[in-house]
Structure 1
């Protein structure tokens, strides 16, 4: 496996010139994606001088030119950040002048089902090479319990400095919810766990400048586990209602109405809703970190394994239902024109990570259906390297396609009109209840 490292690119718009060497940053954020960039924005807006470090020159150049690549951060936000002193770099020398360094790099799954910590270890080694006494280092990247103490700390201490004595080290799980305009970074309580009480206090003081509420965990392991617990809870409950949806169809029960009724209980119940699968980075990925760690100590996390199996089966169930719908109309799936509406993992964002639309499209292609798509946030969509034709006129497309499958209920869609105009509509989101519309 090839692991990229942060390498100075020389003197350019994304590296540090000699005139900047005496400046000091109050925060350096490593990884300017959907977690790191909102953090950098919030810190800039409260008056901190912020540096951003990213491997991708296009990201860095775009940000320095005032352009955002993240849904929840606008170009106007970036302009305000730049006015407040924010600068993005590909050159890691900025870390030497940062009082606090927060690591927000991706942790995808490796081939063995555990977390791929290549980006984390690369970033930590880079920080170690620039570490100075009195600094605060925080890991926000999601991982398994023990990562901060067992991997991050030893790598940082190769600098000759000791965590808790010479520098502070903490873990604080990211809680970014793309597209959520109610609970942003400031409004969402921030969990912080330190290697020592002094580390925790320093991290809590830093985040206290950015968020309304800071919650101190007992230690780094508890903070790491809290993040996995949050998403495992959602993963398992989504699997519950997905399996319930399948069973309710066989029992002639309207699962959506049952959920609506159960949701009126003011205590002891939180409604979850069926779907074509689970998308995004957190829910389908994070519980696997915990399952991986549990297996390493000789146990099985059976709830997670079962939830993963159920949720992974949902695209196949959706395609089978689509085939049944067409068969009922006297058509075969083979050769039918199928339109997929909404290919992102959640409504009103452009994020396609782990979106169930991909396995649905793959299965439809395997059955030789002719697929097209529309998504107001996606201009080009590729499945296994092959482009999927995009329609522009949604209403004309639903009238001309044999079957339309609503995979994501973006607010831009006129759902009642879709129900009226489509030849045959399969609603996997439970939003269009009217005669002639099949609901998951």
Structure 2
């Protein structure tokens, strides 16, 4: 322990970050910017080559940061996992998707742990950041690493520290967001806290890796349940002729006891649509039933169909069938002003509309072409974000509230706008709408 702590304190430690995506790349850059030598590991040779050229493939991570990292000589990327042996600390930032029946898929964690076990040596620190259910670190990862013949804390250190990234949020960054750390034993916690404290503003130690794993799940379950609540209220209030957005604005004037959440076309991103089900699956293993999680999932996953139904009804009122109509979906990103389309409900919206016979296009300045994902492959390219493009469609569905869409001129000749984000009405405040607006 003394040796690795000394290497961390003097910045002599080499940090390996496995996974150079939305979590791993910013973390690697923060460690580099704190004076450490960093090696970024990834299976995707295209990402590795881009990073070594000083290029960024994530919009909110500027190319200047990557160029500075590479030119400093303290950062490089590789697909050679044998080089993990040269790292004093190894941080795992790999995907944790769900299977077809919403069962956790920890195969990426297991495969990564097996690669580490091949080269694990005394004095190394291994930290898992991938969101997962309680017990993954101390049961599954530790068991795989035991194949090296080493044990913790006698030979190496093992901890969990949940990632807390929010792409596109200018108020918080990897460095400034408080970092929770929990080891599988006290020495592991101590070493992992020292590592993160050397690069981040605030580190919050907890008693175990299981508490750290659970804290991440609680954060995302809290959001999932509350988003489901406002989505359900949106549908209830709609039947009463009440605007849920106005209700939320009124409620949030209360300076205590209320936190606003907002409805939408469904859940997106790498956390909220997936992570809660990790706990509900684990709860079932222990004889429990996570009813709030399951109910929230049921409500949130049916929202794209609700939006399609509202679009169909709006077209019917114009004497048109959804089949054969030209529909433009605004936004592929799961949130505004980012180039992150993971689990975006826009893809399901497009597929549901196409399945109903509509001729569907999308517009998103962040995605010139739609990317093939785990579940969706729409094979479309973005149409121009112009008034002419909007005017040529029978209906426009606002799925993502990009700033690029916040121009009244874009909608001046639109016919029907189905707005899931309350983007359009404020643009025409105090003015008559030139189109029929449907809030969904």
TM-score, length-scaled by structure 1: 0.92
The match for 2:42 among 33, 45, 54 is: 54
Q: CA deviation at 1:32?
A: 0.8
The match for 1:401 among 393, 399, 404 is: 393
Which residue in the other structure is 1:439 paired with? 439
Q: CA deviation at 1:437?
A: 2.1
**In 1, are the aligned partners of 2:337 and 2:403 still within 8 Å (CA)?**
yes
Distance between the aligned counterparts of 1:414 and 1:290, measured in 2? 38
**Secondary structure of residue in 2 paired with 1:191:** strand
**Shift in alpha-carbon separation, 1:35–1:393, aligned structure 2, 3 A:** closer
Which residue in the other structure is 2:117 paired with? 128
Q: Is 1:161 aligned to residue 150 of structure 2?
A: yes
Distance between the aligned counterparts of 1:198 and 1:249, measured in 2? 55
The match for 1:266 among 240, 255, 271 is: 255
What CA deviation, in whole Å up to 9, does each residue of 1:234-261 have, x standing for no partner? 0010000000000001112111111001
Number of residue pairs matched? Answer: 417
Q: Is 1:64 aligned to residue 56 of structure 2?
A: no
**In 1, are the aligned partners of 2:364 and 2:385 still within 8 Å (CA)?**
no
Q: CA deviation at 1:422?
A: 1.5
Q: Is 1:197 aligned to residue 224 of structure 2?
A: no
Listed as ranges, the gaps of 5+ residues in structure 1 are 1-23
Which residue in the other structure is 1:108 paired with? 97
Q: CA deviation at 1:110?
A: 2.1
Distance between the aligned counterparts of 1:401 and 1:335, measured in 2? 11
Which residue in the other structure is 2:220 paired with? 231
**In 2, are the aligned partners of 1:38 and 1:72 still within 8 Å (CA)?**
no
**Secondary structure of residue in 2 paired with 1:129:** helix
Which residue in the other structure is 1:177 paired with? 166
Distance between the aligned counterparts of 1:372 and 1:112, measured in 2? 30
Listed as ranges, the gaps of 5+ residues in structure 2 are 1-11
**In 1, are the aligned partners of 2:347 and 2:378 still within 8 Å (CA)?**
no
Which residue in the other structure is 1:39 paired with? 27
The match for 2:130 among 127, 141, 166 is: 141
Q: CA deviation at 1:273?
A: 0.6
Distance between the aligned counterparts of 2:39 and 2:250, measured in 1? 50
**Secondary structure of residue in 1 paired with 2:404:** coil
Which residue in the other structure is 1:430 paired with? 422
Q: CA deviation at 1:281?
A: 1.1
Q: CA deviation at 1:394?
A: 2.4
Which residue in the other structure is 2:9 paired with? none
Distance between the aligned counterparts of 1:344 and 1:99, measured in 2? 37
Aligned counterparts, 1:9-408, within 5 A? 26-84=14-72, 85-381=74-370, 384-408=376-400
Q: CA deviation at 1:116?
A: 1.1
**In 2, are the aligned partners of 1:115 and 1:289 still within 8 Å (CA)?**
yes
Distance between the aligned counterparts of 1:355 and 1:366, measured in 2? 18
Distance between the aligned counterparts of 1:260 and 1:393, measured in 2? 30
Q: CA deviation at 1:386?
A: 4.2
Greater CA drift, 391-400 or 250-259: 391-400
TM-score, length-scaled by structure 2: 0.92
RMSD over aligned Cα atoms: 1.4
Q: CA deviation at 1:389?
A: 4.9
Distance between the aligned counterparts of 2:100 and 2:416, measured in 1? 39
Distance between the aligned counterparts of 2:224 and 2:89, measured in 1? 33
